[in-house]
Structure 1
Amino acid sequence: MAGNGSFASKSVPRHVARGLVGFGSVVAAFALIPMFGWWSLLLIPVGVLALRGCPACWVIGLIETVSRGRLQRECVDGVCRLR
């Protein structure tokens, strides 16, 4: 996660690249089992690291990255709303 408690990246291309590496590594790990055996499963930690441990969090981060600057939270009297 970024230092501000957000799942977002600095840019959409960077975030998408992390997703391609992450999901690609996990898929390749299983797809390559017939060719390389259990050694191919060593790609899973690469994918988990690229996704920062959580595929759902990567998706949330993509949404945050795309919407950065467009959505703002406003809290008044303990009630917060997006505007």
Structure 2
Amino acid sequence: MRTGPDFASSSVPRHLLRGLLGFGPTAAAVALVPLAGPLVLLVAPLGLIALRGCPVCWTIGLVQTVSRGRLTRSCENGTCTLTRP
């Protein structure tokens, strides 16, 4: 049984590609402001779309993607535990 949001991708390579497509334009937009002016910041939202909103959400999704299938969460009587399947 899952509770809370799920930020994971279907595979680690796919998630890393999303990270590259997200962090690349976002970092480039910020780094190029001194050279190209503030208009280049219009590229940053494209990176945030690839990250599904925020870098922290992407990072949480990476952890979920890597751990998917390796740990199982079970809750009984108000106590939750992580076990290997």
TM-score tier (shorter): 0.7 to 0.9
Counterpart residue identity of residue 47, structure 1: G
Matched, 1:69 2:48: no
The aligned counterpart of 2:21 is 21
| Number of corresponding residues | 80
Identity %: 59
3-state SS in 2 of match to 1:14:
helix
The aligned counterpart of 2:51 is 51
What 5-or-longer segments of structure 2 have no aligned partner?
A: none
Q: State the TM-score, normalized to the length of structure 1.
A: 0.87
What 5-or-longer segments of structure 1 have no aligned partner?
A: none
**Offset of 1:5 from its aligned partner?**
3.2
What's the Cα RMSD here?
1.4
Q: State the TM-score, normalized to the length of structure 2.
A: 0.85
